[in-house]
Amino acid sequence: MSDSDFDFPPDLVAAEREAWAAIQAGTLTPELAGAVQDRLTAYATEARVDRYKAEMALKRAVRHPEG
């Protein structure tokens, strides 16, 4: 399964972008990290995809959008 096989909902992408910005600023909280993980787990369950693979694809999509 490639990154392009994932159709992430906008709210999940927005949550990961917020978490990534917080990581870069040194302000990531356990609550924010947990909320992103909970939403990612829900997405993976709904989409019937491997959560780990979905997480890696989401991180690549947000952190390295150029490909």
Q: What is the pLDDT of residues 36-45, one digit of tens each?
A: 999 999 999 9
* 33 against 3, higher pLDDT: 33
Q: What is the pLDDT of residues 52-66, one digit of tens each?
A: 999 999 999 999 987
Full-model pTM: 0.88
Whole-angstrom distance, CA of residue 10 vs CA of residue 35: 15
Question: Does 7 have pLDDT greater than 60?
Answer: yes
- Residue 2's φ and ψ, nearest 5 degrees, are -95, 170
* CB neighbourhood size of 6 (10 A): 19
**Domains in the chain: boundaries:** 3-63
